[in-house]
Chain A
C-alpha cells in the first residue's frame, strides 16, 4: 500500500467581499462605510491522496476547485485547517515546497511567448536550479514521452494549442516534481490532440509514479485517466470515490429502444416501464437499478417479434449533469 502524499484536513476559506448596491448614492455611501459580506469559498474540505494516484477534481464553475488548488500550491492561505503535502505545509515553506510541484494552468501559459519552448526550458533550468546533467536527462525523457522533438525549436506563439499544451506539461515536469496539478489541460483542444494528450499523461503517470491532480469539465478526461473523482460543490466535498459507482447509481435511467413486427398489442413488462409505443417500435427504461436486462429481453421476445434493439446508456456528462442537479449545486 502506498502512503498518502497529500493530506487535506478541514480546510476552510472565507473571502470578504465588499457589497455595494447600484446607484450613485450607494456608491458614495459605500465609499465612506463599506459593508462586507463574508463568502465561504471552501467549507471543511477533507481528502487524502496516495502517491502515484490520479484524481479528478470536479465541480461546476465557482464551486471552489481553483481555490483548493491555489491553497495546495501555496498561493493562498486558508482561513482554517491543515494541509500537508509531501511533508510540507504549502503556504509556510513556499520556496522549498514549490520545487516539489508542477503546475499547468490550461488557460494561462508558463512559457515565454516569443521564443521557442527550448529557451523557456533552459530558463526554467536556472529558476529551479536543476543541475545540467539532470536537466539533459529529464529533457530527453520528456521529449520522447511528449513527442516534442519537432516542436521544441519553434517559437511558442506559432505552436498549435495542442502542441503548446504538451510543452507546458514538459515545462511543469522539468524539475522532476512529485506532484503535478493540471488545471483544465484539455480546454479548447481538438479531439485528436485531446486523445494524444491523455495518452501522454497516462504514460508519464505509469512510468514515473507521478501523483496527478486534474481539474476538468471534460468527463472523458476523467474516464480516460482515472476512476477516482472528488466532487466539490458550493465549497463542500459532495462525493469522493469511483466514477463507476456513480454511473451505476443511474443505471435505472438506461433506455432501451426496440423495433418489432407490426402489432397493436400493448407491451407489459415486470422490470421495465414502457415510455412510448407505436405499432412497430417502443422505448423502455428499467424500473430499478438491479433489474436484469436479460430477463427483460426474455419477457419482451415472448410478447413481440423483435427486429432491432439498441441500448442507450447515459453518457458520463449526463450522469454528472444529473448529479449536479440532484445535489443542487
Chain B
C-alpha cells in the first residue's frame, strides 16, 4: 500500500510538470460535470418530479454517483486503460516485480486532473444535501459514508473485470463500458423508475441499487427501515467474482504471454 501511494505521488508530480495542460484539463473536467448537472436541472424544469423524487433528491444521487465514478477514474485509471499495459508488454515488467500485480497495475496511470470533476460533484452533493430535508444522526452519517465507499467498490470491481478481460482480448472492451458508463447513468436516477428486470439486474448482478437507491430511501426518511442503511455492505460481494476472474486472467497470461 505504501508503494501504491508513493507511486501515485510521483505520477502527480509528473503531471504537475506539464502545468498548462494540467490546468486546462482540471477546468475542462470541472465543466463537463457542470454541464451534466445543468442537463438534470433542465429536465426538472420540464417535469418538476420524477416519480416521488424532486430535483434536489435526484441531484444528490447524481452528485454521489459522479463523485464515486470520478474518484475511481482517478485512482484506478491504470485498470481502466489496462489494454495499453498488456499491448505494450508492460505487464511483463509488473510480473518481474515482487509486488501484487493488481496494485501495480492500478498505479500504472493516475489522472489527477479528475480533481475538477470531483470538486464539481462534491459541490452538487453539498447543495443537494442543504436542500433536502434529512434528519441527521450518527447512524445516517455512517450510512452516507458507507454508500460512497460501496459505490466506489462497485466501480473498482467493474474496472478490475474490464482489466481482466484484457488478458484474453484487447478488443471488444466496449462491452464493459455498458457496465461502467451505463451503470453510472442508471444509478444517477432512483431505480424505482425503471422496469422490473432492469431493477433486478442493477440490484443483484451489478449492485448499484444497493449503494444508492435503498440507503437513500432511509437517508431521506422515505422508508424508516434501518436495514436499508447497511445494504451497501453487500455491494462488496460483487468484488469477489471480479477478483477471481482477474486471477484467472493472470494464469491465462502466464500460459500464453500475450
Q: CB within 8 Å of B: which residues of A?
A: 15-16, 67, 70, 73-77, 91, 94-96, 98-99, 101, 103, 105, 108, 110, 112-115, 119, 123, 126-129, 155
- With A75-B254, A91-B254, A108-B93 as contacts: A99 and B98 at CB distance below 8 Å: yes
Q: Which of B6, B88, B89, B92 contacts A126 (CB 8 A)?
A: B6
B49 at the interface (CB under 8 A from A): no
- With A67-B257, A70-B257 as contacts: A75 and B14 at CB distance below 8 Å: no
Q: Considering the chains assembled together, what is the distance between the CA atoms of A90 and B158 in angstroms?
A: 31
Asked if residues A77 and B254 are in contact (CB atoms below 8 Å), the reply is yes
Please indicate the chain A residues that have their CB under 8 angstroms from the CB of B99 in the complex: 95, 127
Q: Considering the chains assembled together, what is the distance between the CA atoms of A91 and B255 in angstroms?
A: 10
Question: What are 21 A-B pairs with beta-carbon distances under 8 A?
Answer: A15-B256, A75-B92, A75-B95, A75-B96, A76-B255, A96-B98, A98-B96, A101-B96, A103-B96, A105-B93, A108-B88, A112-B10, A112-B11, A112-B14, A115-B10, A115-B14, A123-B10, A126-B2, A126-B6, A128-B98, A129-B98
**Besides the known contacts A70-B92, A114-B17, A128-B98, 20 further A-B residue pairs in the complex with CB atoms under 8 A apart:** A73-B92, A73-B95, A75-B254, A76-B254, A76-B255, A76-B257, A91-B254, A95-B98, A95-B99, A105-B92, A105-B93, A108-B88, A108-B90, A108-B93, A112-B10, A113-B14, A114-B14, A115-B10, A115-B13, A127-B98
Please indicate the chain A residues that have their CB under 8 angstroms from the CB of B255 in the complex: 76-77
Q: Considering the chains assembled together, what is the distance between the CA atoms of A115 and B13 in angstroms?
A: 8
Asked if residues A110 and B93 are in contact (CB atoms below 8 Å), the reply is yes
Q: Considering the chains assembled together, what is the distance between the CA atoms of A16 and B95 in angstroms?
A: 22
Please indicate the chain B residues that have their CB under 8 angstroms from the CB of A98 in the complex: 95-98
Tell me the nearest residue of chain A to B17, going by C-beta.
A114
Q: Considering the chains assembled together, what is the distance between the CA atoms of A130 and B11 in angstroms?
A: 21
Q: Considering the chains assembled together, what is the distance between the CA atoms of A14 and B3 in angstroms?
A: 36
Q: How many positions in chain B have a CB within 8 Å of any CB in the partner chain?
A: 23
Task: Give the contacts of B1-54 with A (CB-CB under 8 A).
Answer: 2-3, 6-7, 10-11, 13-14, 17
Tell me the nearest residue of chain B to A181, going by C-beta.
B96
User: 8 nearest interchain CB pairs?
Assistant: A114-B14, A77-B254, A95-B98, A75-B95, A76-B257, A126-B3, A77-B255, A98-B96
Asked if residues B95 and A94 are in contact (CB atoms below 8 Å), the reply is yes
User: Would you give the shortest CB distance from A96 to chain B, in whole angstroms?
Assistant: 7
Q: Which of B10, B11, B88, B95 contacts A74 (CB 8 A)?
A: B95
Task: Give the contacts of B218-258 with A (CB-CB under 8 A).
Answer: 254-257
Q: Considering the chains assembled together, what is the distance between the CA atoms of A76 and B253 in angstroms?
A: 8
Task: Give the contacts of B44-101 with A (CB-CB under 8 A).
Answer: 88-90, 92-93, 95-99
- With A115-B10, A119-B10, A126-B6 as contacts: A74 and B96 at CB distance below 8 Å: yes
Please indicate the chain B residues that have their CB under 8 angstroms from the CB of A96 in the complex: 98
Q: CB within 8 Å of A: which residues of B?
A: 2-3, 6-7, 10-11, 13-14, 17, 88-90, 92-93, 95-99, 254-257
Please indicate the chain B residues that have their CB under 8 angstroms from the CB of A108 in the complex: 88-90, 93
Question: Of B17, B93, B257, which is in contact with the most chain A CB atoms at under 10 Å from its CB?
Answer: B257
User: Would you give the shortest CB distance from B92 to chain A, in whole angstroms?
Assistant: 5
Please indicate the chain B residues that have their CB under 8 angstroms from the CB of A155 in the complex: 17
User: Would you give the shortest CB distance from B113 to chain A, in whole angstroms?
Assistant: 15
User: Would you give the shortest CB distance from A17 to chain B, in whole angstroms?
Assistant: 10
Please indicate the chain B residues that have their CB under 8 angstroms from the CB of A110 in the complex: 93
Tell me the nearest residue of chain B to A129, going by C-beta.
B98
Please indicate the chain A residues that have their CB under 8 angstroms from the CB of B17 in the complex: 114, 155
Tell me the nearest residue of chain A to B257, going by C-beta.
A76
Q: Considering the chains assembled together, what is the distance between the CA atoms of A108 and B96 in angstroms?
A: 14
Q: Which of A70, A77, A105, A127 contacts B97 (CB 8 A)?
A: A127
Q: Which of B6, B10, B13, B257 contacts A75 (CB 8 A)?
A: B257
Q: Which of A77, A115, A127 contacts B3 (CB 8 A)?
A: A127
Q: Considering the chains assembled together, what is the distance between the CA atoms of A15 and B254 in angstroms?
A: 11
User: Would you give the shortest CB distance from A196 to chain B, in whole angstroms?
Assistant: 25
Please indicate the chain A residues that have their CB under 8 angstroms from the CB of B254 in the complex: 75-77, 91
Tell me the nearest residue of chain B to A99, going by C-beta.
B98
Question: Of A70, A75, A126, which is in contact with the most chain B CB atoms at under 10 Å from its CB?
Answer: A75
Please indicate the chain A residues that have their CB under 8 angstroms from the CB of B11 in the complex: 112
Please indicate the chain A residues that have their CB under 8 angstroms from the CB of B97 in the complex: 98, 127-128
Q: Considering the chains assembled together, what is the distance between the CA atoms of A75 and B92 in angstroms?
A: 6
Q: Considering the chains assembled together, what is the distance between the CA atoms of A113 and B2 in angstroms?
A: 21
Tell me the nearest residue of chain A to B95, going by C-beta.
A75
Q: Considering the chains assembled together, what is the distance between the CA atoms of A123 and B254 in angstroms?
A: 26
Please indicate the chain A residues that have their CB under 8 angstroms from the CB of B95 in the complex: 73-75, 94, 98
Tell me the nearest residue of chain A to B13, going by C-beta.
A115
